[in-house]
Amino acid sequence: MNFMQKQDASSRNAVRPGRPRSVATQEAILAASLRLTERVGYAQLTIEGIAAEAGVGKQTVYRWWPSKAAVVLEAFARDARAVVKVRVTGNLEIDLEKFLIAAYRRLTGPRGVVFRSLLSEALINSDFAQQFYDEYLQSRVDDLKTVLSSGANEAEGFEVPAELVEMIYGAIWYRMATNQKLTPAAARQVAAAAVNLLRET
């Protein structure tokens, strides 16, 4: 769960001597990392800056996270857990379109900047890519698969083809890296294509 942090939950939750970890401080750091990423951009984001923004010592950040990417990932994933929702009605066309439009919209605006930052890091740091997948992307993939397989509930043991997920989410990332807006229209086109592909199978 907390493998992004230097000490995992089990050892932290055990009763230990000394002053306990400050939850308020931890949350100040996570909030500051989101705020700063959105304000100045990931390249300009520094651990020093996060600490200052959170009103915290640098050491305190280093004690719990190994890098700025780890801090931002935890902050982003925690935020997503509270936000992302899946509704399935049984009508694949409508469900998928709604799901994708929501996803495209979520990634427009401030949080999109943070997401691009994480994706950017994942591309050049394979350890982080794994953490990014486990901490955040896995859940989104599960969400998508839930939607995609809801229309195929008659066929037991149906498995969503991997390349379909790759192509649907990949299409978002393509637009992100090519300066194109994540419009509802774009979402709709991808949704329609995905439905076509799924019917084919």
Partner DNA sequence: CCATAACCGAGACGGTACGTCCGGTCTTATA
Partner DNA sequence: TATAAGACCGGACGTACCGTCTCGGTTATGG
Residue 41 interacts, among DNA, a copy of itself, none and using kind-specific CB cut-offs from 5 to 8 Å, with a copy of itself
Q: Are 88 and 95 in contact (CB under 8 A)?
A: yes
Q: Which residues bind a copy of itself (CB under 8 A)?
A: 41-43, 116-117, 119-126, 129-130, 132-133, 137, 161-179, 186, 189-190, 193, 196-197, 200
If one asks whether residue 57 binds DNA (CB under 7 A), the answer comes out as yes
Question: Looking at the chain, which runs of residues are DSSP E strands?
Answer: none
Q: Are 84 and 140 in contact (CB under 8 A)?
A: yes
Rounded CA separation 137/130 (Å): 10
Comparison of 102 and 129: residue with beta carbon closer to a copy of itself: 129
Comparison of 69 and 144: residue with beta carbon closer to DNA: 69
Closest approach, Cβ 169 to a copy of itself, in A, equals 6
Task: Pick from 49, 125, 145, 188 the residue near DNA by CB under 7 A.
Answer: 49
Closest approach, Cβ 198 to a copy of itself, in A, equals 10
DSSP state of 136: I
3-state DSSP assignment of residue 95 = helix
Rounded CA separation 77/88 (Å): 23
Residue 33 interacts, among a copy of itself, DNA, none and using kind-specific CB cut-offs from 5 to 8 Å, with none
